[in-house]
Amino acid sequence: MSELLELATRVAGWARDGEQVEAFVASGRDTDIDVFGGEVESLSSAESAGIGIRVVSGSRQGFAYAGSLDPEVVAETLGEARDNAGFASPDEWVGLATPDGVAPAGLDLWRDDLVSYPTGEKVARAIELEAMVRAADPRIRQVQSAGWGDSAFETAVASSTGMSASGRRTVCSVSTYVAAGDGDQTQTGYGWSVGRSPSEVDVAGAAADAVGRATRLLGATKPSSRHLTVVLEPLVTASLLAIVAGTLDGDAVAKGRSLFADRLGEPVASEVLTLVDDPTDPEAFGAAVYDAEGLATRRNVLVGAGVLRQFVYDTYSARRAGTSSTGSAVRAGYKSGPHAGTRALAPVPGPLSREELYAAVGDGLLVQSVSGLHSGVNPVSGDFSVGAEGLLIKGGVPCEPVREVNIASTLQRMLLGIVHVGADLERLPAMAAGVSLAIADVSMSGR
Amino acid sequence: MIEVDVIERVLGAALRTGGDFAEVFAEDRRGTAASLEDGRVEQLASGRERGAGIRVVSGETTGFAHTADLSETGLLAAAAAAAAAAHRGGGGVREVALGASPARSGGVAVLPETVAKDVKVALLRRADEAARAAGSAIRQVSATYGDNRRRILVANSDGVLATDDQVRTRFGVSCVAEGDTGLQTGRETIGATVGFELFDTHDVEDIARRAATRAVAKLAARPAPSGTLPVVIEQGSGGILFHEACGHGLEADHILKDLSVFAHRVGEQVASPLVTLVDDATMGREWGAFAVDDEGHPGARNVLIDHGVLTDYMWDLLRARKEGRESSGNGRRETYQHLPMVRMTNTFLVGGTDDPEEIVRQTAHGVFVAQLGGGQVNTATGDFTFGATEAYLIEDGQITEPLRDTNLIGNGPEILRLIDAVGDDFAMGSPGTCGKQGQGVPVGTGQPTLRVSALTVGGTAR
């Protein structure tokens, strides 16, 4: 048993009669390196650890956390969670997870070669990235950021209701954000590459992506307002689908915050869309063997050929809905309790390559990045309105850069308006994957 | 938190590999959060974090390490890690002597930790009842209470020793209303750099009613227009416009890398003469206020744009050292686990002379914004966006129909020139969290009623 799981088990063992106790323990080592002008601008490297404790007593739940695994602090944190439980409203559905017999996927998400990778090598990869960007095109004016980041972390969860699970993962990445210029105009672009092991990180690819994205926007103008087909690049698709997934979690449904609450079994999207959350897929960076309550993760099909198939549940939201957990408890580290959510959301790729998809669209707007997603999308009403930059597609070819435009619709209409799903699945570090996605009849505001 | 002689030894150790500058930032943070949804107090959560971040600067390189272990052994280990990260050869011994610590005058009347938990929870129940009473269309109410006490100690090899004790309290309500057109949302949040006395001057029922009314009103909303229009922003609702349109672009880290549209423009007319923009950490109870920034520099009031002329940027210690000047007190970090960088505090547009009602009357066709959500900016291009969560159409100088949520976009330098009316009704707005490079810090914004003669409104109306 790992040290973390031992600690979690010990805390769970302190449960009193009539009380349930769950301890979630996390510990990690992170390195972050930023370079500028061929030198290290900052290098930070640190270990951190913490614990989050849930206590359920008399149908009431309390939570407390601490950024320390010191025995005295842990004991104090349990006391605090216990005290907090006394102030919650009684809720018949509150309760910790219990073993459900689902077998855990056999995944190895840890790579020793990242743990032993020398800091000097990490610095060299970051410096190489910056140099490649600067050398790639004379129009590159500045490298806003270029860096390396990695994390090796372990989590464990144990409860007095019989849960006991632990897992560990490594992840590393390079990323860069660059500015290109031509005359008075400046445009920016990003590029990244992510892997579990340093050998999977593609520095040249990240540099080329960032340079390509920034330079192809040079000369951008503000187009006139109209309705048209938009093609979202994979990263943008992933952001959109993550918002959609947020409306498909059991919490949102139970609390009347989901615009799809009554739509199970009905078509909610174009039949070309199948949306899956599969943390058991080892290729997904959000892959995990266990969920945040210690249940085995599983493959959940949220939307199948446009039909709403299921919601994702943690233990609490499942009990409220009269069903069982889908192994979809997530948490934002030890500082918060679990809630229902997705970890490895991905659309099932379609038949068209990127070029074929552009050709099939004919005329439209290729969106390479959006801004204001957190403020411009209302996941309850479905209103969607965000800033965008990209290129107008004419005759099947992205050719004319545009800036300062806004695209708007509603989530409901966008899902139904999907006309093509690309074959170009891209794995993203942010627990999701994307493809090129063509959506008809979106409003573009410009001049 | 840590004895002065221990800090002096730790700073000495941090400089052993030849660093030019070393700093210890220690933090002890406690907080309580309570949430109500669906008529139930779901959970009361409390947390505690304590630790120190140690920074060593050597030439252009910063090494950083942090630890949750505040013993001398723990701090020395972190100092050694930070020094190794910044290592440039050289070395030697440097003695560090710290000055006297200026004490933070306590401005907090009622420390939240002295308030019983059931009193905090009762606020949530009152808000829930008030919101539900505001209309039969209200389907869901969620209310959140949060308090946070952050004690910091900063010491560096220049001899600075400073402490601060920052207490913040906030309360928010969001409502979902249901009608023939589907679901709509309304939200209202208050917060201040004070303790529980926040509720002496703010009524939670009132906050709840405002959130509920907003949601219900939007049920009758029509799609926002699409295209470029004059936009009037109500007092205290849209300071985020300046935060995004030019605030971020005036942060010295972007300036020194030449990644801001405002670089090399000090002394130039960058905005309409009606624009005087200030960033002020010393604004009493405001959400972004503090006595000492996270690098030990006293909070300050800085005029950034004076009647349209760019006067200065915002600076942290590192960027200021490079330019051989003093920090402007804008060095902030989310926690001891983060490196500080240039951040805004309370950023606001100073009031003008126009009658706010007259500004609307003189707008033939446009949009009136009564609440803005968050925003985002690309400092290199100046393009920014922000969301309008309560807005109305202006027709023939009258505020008419409510509009569905929409996004507004523009370009910072262009918009600053297009401000053609500034009201005399200055007010600060809701508390916000500004995110930059993955770090969130509390910020305030404010402005009087104003008009931008042309902003792109991202609606769907045909």
A268: three-class secondary structure by DSSP: coil
Res. B89 pLDDT band, cuts 50 70 90: low
Nearest neighbour of B185 by CB, restricted to A39, A141, A380: A380
Q: Please, are residues B227 and A225 in contact by the beta-carbon 8 Å criterion?
A: yes
Q: Please, are residues B283 and B347 in contact by the beta-carbon 8 Å criterion?
A: no
The token pair that represents A404 in the structure block: 């300062």
Residue type at A67? G
Exposed e or buried b per residue across A202-230, where buried means at least 16 C-beta atoms within 10 angstroms of its C-beta: bbeebbbbbbbbbbbbbebebbebeebbb
Residue ranges of alpha helices (H) inside A299-421 are: 315-321, 354-361, 373-376, 411-416
In chain A, residues with a C-beta closer than 8 Å to the C-beta of B63 are: 42-44
Which residues 271-330 of A have a C-beta within 8 angstroms of B?
none
CB–CB contact A256 B257 (8 Å): no
Return the CATH class of domain B112-153+161-218: alpha beta
The shortest C-alpha distance from A212 to chain B (Å) reads 17
Position of tokens 């032993």?
A116
Q: Please, are residues B200 and B190 in contact by the beta-carbon 8 Å criterion?
A: no
- The model's pLDDT over B408-429, given as tens digits with 9 standing for 90+, comes to 999 999 999 999 999 999 999 9
Res. A184 pLDDT band, cuts 50 70 90: confident
pLDDT exceeds cutoff 60 at B91: no
Q: What are phi and psi of A145, to 5 degrees?
A: -155, 145
Closest CA to A189 of A369, A35, A398: A369
pLDDT exceeds cutoff 90 at B318: yes
A419: three-class secondary structure by DSSP: strand
Same-domain status, A447 and A326:
yes
Q: What are phi and psi of B82, to 5 degrees?
A: -65, -40
The token pair that represents A435 in the structure block: 């493809």
Q: How many distinct structural domains can be found in chain A?
A: 2
d(CA B42, CA A102): 29
Mean pLDDT to the nearest integer, B299-322 = 97
Same-domain status, A379 and A246:
yes
Residue ranges of alpha helices (H) inside A301-385 are: 315-321, 354-361, 373-376
Q: Please, are residues A201 and A215 in contact by the beta-carbon 8 Å criterion?
A: no
Strands (E) across A210-251 are located at: 226-232
Lowest-pLDDT choice from A148-157, B402-411, B445-454: B402-411
Same-domain status, A199 and A246:
no
Same-domain status, A68 and A144:
yes
The token pair that represents A104 in the structure block: 């855990």
Nearest neighbour of A89 by CB, restricted to B40, B140, B228: B40
Which residues 234-293 of B have a C-beta within 8 angstroms of A?
257-259, 261
Domain final residue pick, A168, A191, A215? A215
Same-domain status, A205 and A261:
no
In chain B, residues with a C-beta closer than 8 Å to the C-beta of A42 are: 61-64, 339
Res. A73 pLDDT band, cuts 50 70 90: very high
A223 touches chain B (CB under 8 A): no
Strands (E) across B59-157 are located at: 61-67, 138-156
Domain final residue pick, A197, A215, A233? A215
Closest CA to A390 of A213, A147, A159, A243: A213
Same-domain status, A330 and A360:
yes
Domain final residue pick, A169, A198, A215? A215
B50 touches chain A (CB under 8 A): yes
Res. B93 pLDDT band, cuts 50 70 90: low
d(CA A18, CA B286): 45
- The model's pLDDT over A276-321, given as tens digits with 9 standing for 90+, comes to 999 999 999 999 999 999 999 999 999 999 999 999 999 999 999 9
- CB neighbour list of residue A6: distance below 8 Å, 6 or more residues apart: none
Same-domain status, A152 and A226:
no
Same-domain status, A183 and A225:
no
- For residue B104, the model assigns a pLDDT of 58
Strands (E) across B329-378 are located at: 331-332, 341-342, 346-349, 365-377
Res. B92 pLDDT band, cuts 50 70 90: low
d(CA A402, CA B39): 47
- State which residues form the domain around A446: 220-447
Residue A322 CB neighbour total at 10 angstroms: 7
Mean pLDDT to the nearest integer, A38-55 = 93
Same-domain status, A181 and A225:
no
Mean pLDDT to the nearest integer, B421-448 = 95
Mean pLDDT over the full length of chain A: 95
- For residue B60, the model assigns a pLDDT of 87
Element of type H or E holding A32: strand A19-36
The shortest C-alpha distance from A6 to chain B (Å) reads 21
- The model's pLDDT over A100-159, given as tens digits with 9 standing for 90+, comes to 999 999 999 999 999 999 999 999 999 999 999 999 999 999 999 999 999 999 999 999
In chain A, residues with a C-beta closer than 8 Å to the C-beta of B42 are: 61, 88-89, 91
CB–CB contact B37 A255 (8 Å): yes
d(CA B368, CA B391): 6
Mean pLDDT over the full length of chain B: 93
Same-domain status, A54 and A110:
yes
pLDDT exceeds cutoff 70 at A431: no
Nearest neighbour of B66 by CB, restricted to A46, A50, A179: A46
The token pair that represents A239 in the structure block: 């952001």
- For residue B94, the model assigns a pLDDT of 65
Task: Tell me the C-alpha to C-alpha distance, in Å, between residue B353 and each of A51, B238, B240, B445.
Answer: 54, 18, 21, 20
- The model's pLDDT over A135-146, given as tens digits with 9 standing for 90+, comes to 999 999 999 999
Mean pLDDT to the nearest integer, A215-239 = 95
Taking each helix axis as running N to C, give the angle between helix B72-85 and helix B4-14, from 0 to 180 degrees, rounded to the nearest 10: 20
In chain A, residues with a C-beta closer than 8 Å to the C-beta of B40 are: 88-89, 91
Same-domain status, A254 and A187:
no
In chain A, residues with a C-beta closer than 8 Å to the C-beta of B31 are: none
Kindly provide the ipTM of the predicted complex, given to two decimals: 0.89
Give the sign of the dihedral formed by CA B236, CA B238, CA B240, CA B244.
negative
- The model's pLDDT over B239-284, given as tens digits with 9 standing for 90+, comes to 888 998 899 999 999 999 988 999 999 999 999 999 999 999 999 8
d(CA B327, CA A40): 23
Same-domain status, A224 and A211:
no
Q: Sketch the domain layout of chain B as residue ranges.
A: 112-153+161-218, 226-458
CB–CB contact A68 B66 (8 Å): no
- For residue B86, the model assigns a pLDDT of 87
A40 touches chain B (CB under 8 A): yes
In chain A, residues with a C-beta closer than 8 Å to the C-beta of B384 are: 371, 387
d(CA A239, CA A252): 18
Res. B108 pLDDT band, cuts 50 70 90: confident
pLDDT exceeds cutoff 70 at B106: no
CB–CB contact B47 A409 (8 Å): no
B119 touches chain A (CB under 8 A): no
Nearest neighbour of B339 by CB, restricted to A42, A406, A407: A42
Label residue A352 left, alpha or beta by phi (over 0 means left) and psi (-120 to 50 means alpha): beta
